[in-house]
């Protein structure tokens, strides 16, 4: 069978499995199965496909037809212009999370321009390390060597992936990773108070499990997704813990699910008085990040 027919058959299987962008997906899977470059594949469309390549390709097509995410099959995901290693141990980093990275960088600049040296950041629920590592890479490019970054996760398996990604992007020396239940194990006596807490925590309400796409529900780690009946349990825990660990002029940066910004803003209001809270929308106009600047006069109610 020639390569063109082979791709068309795979495309038909992917359409039957209701996979999005079936034609493009078939091509990506061929590249992944054979390791050839796009131009080599295009030049070979009329050639007979090798049996070994065809069986490797068929295995990948079968996995995608079972709705395994493409990123787990190819073991890579693009985020903030960087390619992260991913597998089923971690949530696949999403484009909308780039806003949390940009907001964190803006908060670092704000604190530094107010005279702070040595800003300390904790990325709570770091997963693949996406936020912590993207921030570290951006700071390296700016020549900032003083900001300290820690990524925390409750999953030891996720932290192995995060460490691998930190190595891959040359920031293993400046991002440290620790196992912990949100901020409960953060040792402020040893490390000092936190200047910025950033988190893209689990935020899907338990009841929405059955409405999720199969890619998410069947393959992504449940502890990365669900956070109680209203999806707000993680925010409650992190905000409560953060108020006693954060510097008086610190910042909190949360990614929120669609429709959750108001509730998270209210939660912040219940725990901290006199914080400046802003809500930022992502590229699709969805309120996606809630950020609180505490200011020196903030009062913790926690």
User: What's the closest the beta carbon of residue 233 comes to ligand SAM, in angstroms?
Assistant: 9
Pick between residue 130 and residue 268 the one whose CB is nearest to ligand SAM. Answer: 130
Pick between residue 98 and residue 195 the one whose CB is nearest to ligand SAM. Answer: 98
User: What's the closest the beta carbon of residue 75 comes to ligand SAM, in angstroms?
Assistant: 15
**Residue corresponding to tokens 């200011």:** 295
Cβ proximity of 156 and 177 under 8 Å: no
CA 60, CA 19: separation in Å to the nearest integer?
A: 13
Angle at 168 between CA 163 and CA 171, to 5 degrees: 70
CA 214, CA 288: separation in Å to the nearest integer?
A: 23
Binding-site size for ligand SAM (CB under 6 A) equals 21
Cβ proximity of 234 and 280 under 8 Å: no
223 part of the interface to ligand SAM, by CB under 6 A:
yes
User: What's the closest the beta carbon of residue 97 comes to ligand SAM, in angstroms?
Assistant: 4
User: What's the closest the beta carbon of residue 105 comes to ligand SAM, in angstroms?
Assistant: 15
155 part of the interface to ligand SAM, by CB under 6 A:
yes
Pick between residue 6 and residue 225 the one whose CB is nearest to ligand SAM. Answer: 225
103 part of the interface to ligand SAM, by CB under 6 A:
no
Residues within window 69-98 making contact with ligand SAM, judged by CB under 6 A: 91, 93, 97
111 part of the interface to ligand SAM, by CB under 6 A:
no
User: What's the closest the beta carbon of residue 92 comes to ligand SAM, in angstroms?
Assistant: 7
Count of helices and strands (H, E) across the chain: 12, 11
224 part of the interface to ligand SAM, by CB under 6 A:
yes
201 part of the interface to ligand SAM, by CB under 6 A:
yes
Residue 274 C-beta-side C-alpha neighbours within 13 Å: 9
CA 76, CA 84: separation in Å to the nearest integer?
A: 5
Helical residues (DSSP H) of the chain, grouped into ranges: 3-16, 22-34, 38-43, 51-65, 70-74, 98-113, 130-142, 156-168, 188-191, 214-219, 233-243, 261-271
Select the residue interacting with ligand SAM from 30, 57, 177, 182 (CB under 6 A).
182
125 part of the interface to ligand SAM, by CB under 6 A:
yes
CA 158, CA 252: separation in Å to the nearest integer?
A: 23
128 part of the interface to ligand SAM, by CB under 6 A:
yes
Contacts with ligand SAM, residue ranges (CB under 6 A)? 91, 93, 97, 125-128, 130-131, 152-155, 158, 181-182, 200-202, 223-224
């Amino acid at each position: 069978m020639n390569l063109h027919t082979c791709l068309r058959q795979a495309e038909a299987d992917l359409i039957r499995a209701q996979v999005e962008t079936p034609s493009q997906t078939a091509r990506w899977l061929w590249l992944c199965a054979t390791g050839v470059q796009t131009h080599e594949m295009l030049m070979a469309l009329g050639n007979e496909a090798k049996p070994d390549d065809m069986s490797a390709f068929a295995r990948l097509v079968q996995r995608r037809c079972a709705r395994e995410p493409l990123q787990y099959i190819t073991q890579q995901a693009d985020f903030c212009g960087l390619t992260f290693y991913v597998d089923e141990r971690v949530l696949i980093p999403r484009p909308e999370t780039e806003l949390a990275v940009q907001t964190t960088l803006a908060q670092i600049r704000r604190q530094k321009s107010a005279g702070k040296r040595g800003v300390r950041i904790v990325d709570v629920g770091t997963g693949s390390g996406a936020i912590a590592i993207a921030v570290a890479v951006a700071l390296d490019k700016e020549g900032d060597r003083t900001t300290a970054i820690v990524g925390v996760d409750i999953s030891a398996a996720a932290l192995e992936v995060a460490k691998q990604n930190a190595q891959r992007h040359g920031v293993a020396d400046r991002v440290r990773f620790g196992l912990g239940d949100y901020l409960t194990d953060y040792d402020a006596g040893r490390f000092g108070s936190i200047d910025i807490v950033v988190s893209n925590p689990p935020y899907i309400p338990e009841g929405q499990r059955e409405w999720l796409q199969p890619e998410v529900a069947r393959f992504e780690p449940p502890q990365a997704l669900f956070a109680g009946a209203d999806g707000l349990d993680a925010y409650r825990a992190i905000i409560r813990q953060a108020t006693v660990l954060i510097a008086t002029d610190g910042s909190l940066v949360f990614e929120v699910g669609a429709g959750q910004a108001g509730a998270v803003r209210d939660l912040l209001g219940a725990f901290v008085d006199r914080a400046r809270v802003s809500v930022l929308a992502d590229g699709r106009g969805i309120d996606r990040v809630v950020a609180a600047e505490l200011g020196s006069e903030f009062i913790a109610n926690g």
